[in-house]
């Protein structure tokens, strides 16, 4: 049997291994008390019985029927046949009429990864800036439509490995996969993820439209060392922050797949952690789908974490912990040996296969296709005009206006003779990672040319790259950019970072613009003080000098295939931007904690950061002005089982129709433990016509997670009696109205 390299520390004994495989000791090794074994469960948690738990959009009777069918199918298989079904791509078994299947059909992070025609929507980090739940669900309804269209066309699997990405690496802008998540805030992440899953899996009580996958569970928030690192996570940070998005995906989104991550947490590989994959995920939260490993996280239990000495023990530990599908081949190769050595039982294998087979049944694989409501999805939906328009609308709503001194924007094309379009991201339609290959790609330069019209663009637009994203300065390219800026009435400089700078497996070290882009901006500004910065990036970038000197800054994250059209419409005023930042934009790396520090209270996110950011969480301007007034709370106190209603009036006092994202925050005053400076509890994107007012109302329930804190001594969330500050504003730093409630414990 193949041996893994031994760990340099104390090896795991066979006795310890078997104890870990059995369950509760996995939690004890984290340093946390095993209160679940003592019968305690967190506030709002369920006991975990199949009869009492919602199985996720699918009616209970249909879920139970599918589970029984799955059990009958598994019962017909021999042990070798069962083991063959643990991969992400599994062979057919003709003896029992079982077809081949792909649990890893593809990724659909912001559109299916497939050759065109396929629609590529904005990156999740961009979509998060829309603060629009309904828009996100519409986007992923379109994505799942296109998955079904390709399923009919070429057999594309309906089981996905994404979306949503909800591990909270967005807590730090250096994370290499920051473009994959929706926000640094757990509530905003949860809301976007829930509606992503609803769009992907549908609302039919009998069938899943596709299978979505919540990943990477959990604390996989660094990339360079993700396969060997162990995240040290304190209990409060775990329960109050890192686990919230996953809990929402299960309890409210009803996601059917969760992916275990590469890393370890508190010394235990997540793919080997029974507390995470069984006690928490299934027992407390009521997850009824299947767990898939990241590729090949099962092998990493032995290979990189050295948690056990060989692959058979790694395979057994993963299955006993609750992992059902192996992206990779460790389970298929070594489960036979593990059963032979009595490290895992055949019954445990059966339980895993029943869960994964249930997913196949709920997709309608074994039923007549006319019985499956999604089978009538037209192939013509692929990158259809309607989906292109939706991608364009999603891009529009995701654009942020960072600065607009003296109403520099929008531009009036009637009064511009020459426009310089400059920069390394101007003539590229960057899609970001996990992207398909759409047929219609519109770069910012192409969008501006199309907006102006071919003949006008030929006379009006001067284009110069100036520099590359990461390369060195070349005098001739700089000179061409400066010349264009001097000849133009306005210079639009497109800058940012791309996957050369940060990507899966590669974190950033710096947060400023890479290469010589800062120098390019300064040279263009010296040639033309009417220089506008347009950010087109896959991550936040520190543009401190630009914020201090340039009159206007707009843009944001990679905005999908229609980004050029959307940016042109915003720059020239056909669309009034309403996006708000979903992360804090910091001024310098020195403002951040150590990259591997998982304690939120050490200055992470807007909730605990005491410095002055470049742009605060929730920031975003408009071409109009909004006034907030008349805050009303439905009562003075809030007690168990109750809820408060927060209402206010918002008036568009400017001359343009526009969207405002109204944000509600709370702060628990006088707590005996350190609490967030403020924490988001609700939001609404509202469209208000010029001169009109809208009344906006929000529910604030007693069981809102931000009103409680995790007490590790009680192993539960605790609400303290006292005062809660209720704050409503246009950003976390722009609070317009304040009120107070008294919490009753």
Q: Cβ(397)–Cβ(135) under 8 Å?
A: yes
Kindly give, in sequence order, each residue whose CB lies less than 8 Å from that of residue 591, ignoring residues fewer than 6 positions away.
Answer: 603, 609, 611, 613
Distances in Å between the Cα of 487 and the Cα atoms of 464, 491, 518 are 12, 9, 21
Which structure tokens are listed for 53? Answer: 């738990």
Please count the CA atoms within 13 angstroms of the CA of 656 that sit on its side-chain side: 16
Beta bridge partners of 699: 645
Please count the CA atoms within 13 angstroms of the CA of 426 that sit on its side-chain side: 26
Cβ of 670: how many Cβ atoms within 10 Å?
10
- The burial class, CB within 10 Å (0-12 / 13-18 / 19+), for 488 is buried
Cβ of 440: how many Cβ atoms within 10 Å?
17
Helix (H) or strand (E) holding 427: none
Q: Cβ(182)–Cβ(128) under 8 Å?
A: yes
Which residue in 294, 300, 502, 507 is the catalytic one?
Answer: 294
For this structure, is 294 an active site residue? yes
Distance CA 129, CA 507 (A): 22
Query: DSSP letters along 71-135, please?
Result: HHHHHT--HHHHHHTTBSEE--BGGGTBPPEES--B--SSS--SBSS---PPPHHHHGGG--HHH
Three-state secondary structure string covering 275-330:
HHHHHHHHHHCCCCCEEEECCCHHHHHHHCCCCCCEHHHHHHHHHHHCCCEECCCH
Kindly give, in sequence order, each residue whose CB lies less than 8 Å from that of residue 657, ignoring residues fewer than 6 positions away.
Answer: 576, 624, 687, 688, 689, 690
Distances in Å between the Cα of 197 and the Cα atoms of 181, 192, 248, 529, 743 are 14, 9, 11, 46, 33
Distance CA 541, CA 51 (A): 49
* Length of the chain in terms of residues written: 745
Distances in Å between the Cα of 608 and the Cα atoms of 220, 313, 529, 656, 723 are 21, 41, 37, 36, 19
Give residue for tokens 């050295």.
Answer: 306
Query: What are the φ/ψ torsions at residue 592 (nearest 5 degrees)?
Result: -100, 150
- CA geometry: angle at 152 spanning 150 and 156, to 5°? 50
Catalytic residues: 294
């Amino acid at each position: 049997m193949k041996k893994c390299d031994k760990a340099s520390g104390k090896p795991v004994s066979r006795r310890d291994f078997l104890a870990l495989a059995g369950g509760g000791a996995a939690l004890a090794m984290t340093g946390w008390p095993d209160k679940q074994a003592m019968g305690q469960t967190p506030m709002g948690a369920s006991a975990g019985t199949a009869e009492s738990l919602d199985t996720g959009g699918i009616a209970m009777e249909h879920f139970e029927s599918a589970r029984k069918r799955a059990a009958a199918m598994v019962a017909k298989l021999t042990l070798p046949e069962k083991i063959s079904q643990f991969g992400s791509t599994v062979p057919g078994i003709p003896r029992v009429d079982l077809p081949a299947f792909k649990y890893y059909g593809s990724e659909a992070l912001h559109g299916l990864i497939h050759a065109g025609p396929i629609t590529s929507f904005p990156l999740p980090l961009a979509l998060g800036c829309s603060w629009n739940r309904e828009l996100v669900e519409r986007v992923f309804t379109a994505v799942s439509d296109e998955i079904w269209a390709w399923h009919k066309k070429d057999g594309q699997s309906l089981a996905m490995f994404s979306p949503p990405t909800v591990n909270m690496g967005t807590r730090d802008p250096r994370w290499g996969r920051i473009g994959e998540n929706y926000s640094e805030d757990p509530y905003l992440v949860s809301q976007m993820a829930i509606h992503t899953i609803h769009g992907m899996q549908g609302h039919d009580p009998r069938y899943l439209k596709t299978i979505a996958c919540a990943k990477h569970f959990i604390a996989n928030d660094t990339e360079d060392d993700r396969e060997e690192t162990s995240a040290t996570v304190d209990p409060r940070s775990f329960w109050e922050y890192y686990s919230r998005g996953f809990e929402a995906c299960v309890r409210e989104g009803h996601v059917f797949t969760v992916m275990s991550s590469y890393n370890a947490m508190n010394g235990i590989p997540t793919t080997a952690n029974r507390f995470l994959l069984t006690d928490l995920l299934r027992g407390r939260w009521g997850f009824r789908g299947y767990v898939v490993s990241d590729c090949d996280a099962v092998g990493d239990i032995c290979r990189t974490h050295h948690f056990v000495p060989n692959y058979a023990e790694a395979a057994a530990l993963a299955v006993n912990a609750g992992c059902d599908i192996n992206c990779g081949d460790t389970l298929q190769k070594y489960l036979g040996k593990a059963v032979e050595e009595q490290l895992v039982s055949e019954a445990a294998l059966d339980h895993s296969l029943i869960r994964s087979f249930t997913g196949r049944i709920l997709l309608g694989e074994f039923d007549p296709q006319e019985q499956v409501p999604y089978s009538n999805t037209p192939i013509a939906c692929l990158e259809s005009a309607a989906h292109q328009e939706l991608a364009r609308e999603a891009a529009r709503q995701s654009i942020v206006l960072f600065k607009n001194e003296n109403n520099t924007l929008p531009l009036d094309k009637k009064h511009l003779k020459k426009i310089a379009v400059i920069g390394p991201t101007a003539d590229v339609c960057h899609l970001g990672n996990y992207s398909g290959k759409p047929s219609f790609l519109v770069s910012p330069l192409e969008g501006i040319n199309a907006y102006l019209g071919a003949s006008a663009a030929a006379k009006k637009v001067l284009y110069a790259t100036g520099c590359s994203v990461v390369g060195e300065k070349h005098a001739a390219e700089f000179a061409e950019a400066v010349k264009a800026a001097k000849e133009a009435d306005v210079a639009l400089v497109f800058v940012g970072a791309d996957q050369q700078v940060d990507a899966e497996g590669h974190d950033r070290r710096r947060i400023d613009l890479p290469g010589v882009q800062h120098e390019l901006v300064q040279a263009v500004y010296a040639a033309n003080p009417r220089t506008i910065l347009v950010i087109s990036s896959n991550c936040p970038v520190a543009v401190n000098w630009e914020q201090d000197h340039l009159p206007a800054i707009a843009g944001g994250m990679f905005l999908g295939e229609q980004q050029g059209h959307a940016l042109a419409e915003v720059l020239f005023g056909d669309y009034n931007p309403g996006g708000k930042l979903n992360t804090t934009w910091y001024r310098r790396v020195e403002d951040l904690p150590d990259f591997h520090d998982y304690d939120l209270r050490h200055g992470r996110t807007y909730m605990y950061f005491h410095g002055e950011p470049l742009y605060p969480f929730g920031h975003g301007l408009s071409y109009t002005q909004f006034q907030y007034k008349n805050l009303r709370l439905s009562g003075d106190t809030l007690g168990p089982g109750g809820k408060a209603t927060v209402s206010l009036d918002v008036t568009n006092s400017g001359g343009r129709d526009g969207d405002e994202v109204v944000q509600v925050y709370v702060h628990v005053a006088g707590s005996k433990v350190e609490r967030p400076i403020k924490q988001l509890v609700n939001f609404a994107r509202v469209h208000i016509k010029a001169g009109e007012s809208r009344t906006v109302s929000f529910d604030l329930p007693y069981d809102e997670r931000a009103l409680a804190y995790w007490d590790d001594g009680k192993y539960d969330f605790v609400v303290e009696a006292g005062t809660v500050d209720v704050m409503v504003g246009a950003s976390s730093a722009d609070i317009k109205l304040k009120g107070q409630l008294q919490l009753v414990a």
